[in-house]
Amino acid sequence: MDLQLTGKRALVTGSTSGLGEAIARRLAAEGASVVVHGRDEQRAVNVADAIRADGGSADIAVGDLATDAGAAIVAGAATARGPIDILVNNAGGYDPSGWAQAAPAAWARLYEVNVISGVRMIQHLVPGMRERGWGRVVQIGGGLAGQPTADQPHYTATLAARHNLAVSLARDLAGTGVTSNVVAPGAIMVDAVRDLLVRLAPTHGWGETPDEIERAATADWVPNDTGRFGRPDEIASAVAYLASPLASYISGATLRVDGGTVRSVQ
C-alpha cells in the first residue's frame, strides 16, 4: 500500500532508540523526510545516518523538550529545511515508583516530560499546519491511560493526559485539514524490555529460550489475545497509517496496538 507520504516532512520526538526510532525509520521508508530528535547528538546522528544509508531522507534536531528554551531550539532545527507536516509526540520518561515513593515533585517532573513537552511542540508546529490546511499530530499513549493499575500512578496519569489533549486538539482543529490522534501501544519488545525479561526469567521460572520467556512473561505480566509482546515495527506501521492522507477521516481517535490487552469496546 502506498501511504502517499512522499514530500511530507515529519518530526518524531524521542527517536534515537526504541519506538521512536522504529517510527522514524518507517516514515522515511514510506517517503517522508524525517527529523530525528533526541538529547544526545551522536545518537541522533547515528539514526539519521542509518536512514540515509537505507535510501531515506533525515535531519536531526537536538534539545530537551522539558524546557521552553529546549523546545524552541528543537522546533527551529526541525523547520530549518522546511515546514513540519507530521508531528509524532513520542518523547517521554518512565518512573516505576508507587504511591508511597512518588513525591509531588516527581509527579510534576514526569508531567513536564511526558505532557507539557508535547504541548510545546504542538504550539510551535501546529499553527503552520493549520495555515497550510494539512497536517497530522500523533500522540504515543498507552493502554494504562484508560486501564490504570496501582503501580506508577504518576506515569499512568500522564498517559491519560496525552490521550485527553489529543482529543481536545482534534476538536480545536475541526475543519482545518489537520488531524490529531493517539496510538496506544501495549507491552512492546524493545531492547530494554528484552534484556529485563532475560534477567528475570530464572527467578520467575519463565524458561530458557527467547520464545519460552516471552510466552511466560506475557501470561504473567500482560495477558493478551496474541500471547506475545508487540514489536516496534507494529507501532510504527500504525503511526505511519494515521500520519498518511489515507487516514484523513480519522481524528480524535485512539488506535490500540496491544494484542487485545485492554478489555474494552471503546
User: Using CA atoms, how far apart are residues 11 and 73, in angstroms rounded to an integer?
Assistant: 13
- Give me the pLDDT at residue 65, please: 98
Residue 255 cell numbers, joined: 488506535
Q: Is the separation of the CB atoms in 260 and 225 below 8 Å?
A: yes
Q: Is the separation of the CB atoms in 136 and 85 below 8 Å?
A: yes
Percent of the chain with pLDDT over 90: 94
Asked whether the predicted pLDDT for residue 147 surpasses 80, the reply is yes
- Give me the pLDDT at residue 95, please: 87
Q: Is the separation of the CB atoms in 184 and 145 below 8 Å?
A: yes
End-to-end CA distance of the chain: give it in Å, rounded.
27
- 94 assigned to active site: no
Give the global pTM: 0.96
The Cα-based distances of 127 to 122, 124, 201 in angstroms read: 8, 7, 49
- Give me the pLDDT at residue 1, please: 80
Percent of the chain with pLDDT over 70: 100
Residue 149 cell numbers, joined: 493499575
pLDDT in tens, 225-257: 999 999 999 999 999 999 999 999 999 999 999
Q: Which of 94, 155, 241, 249 is catalytic?
A: 155
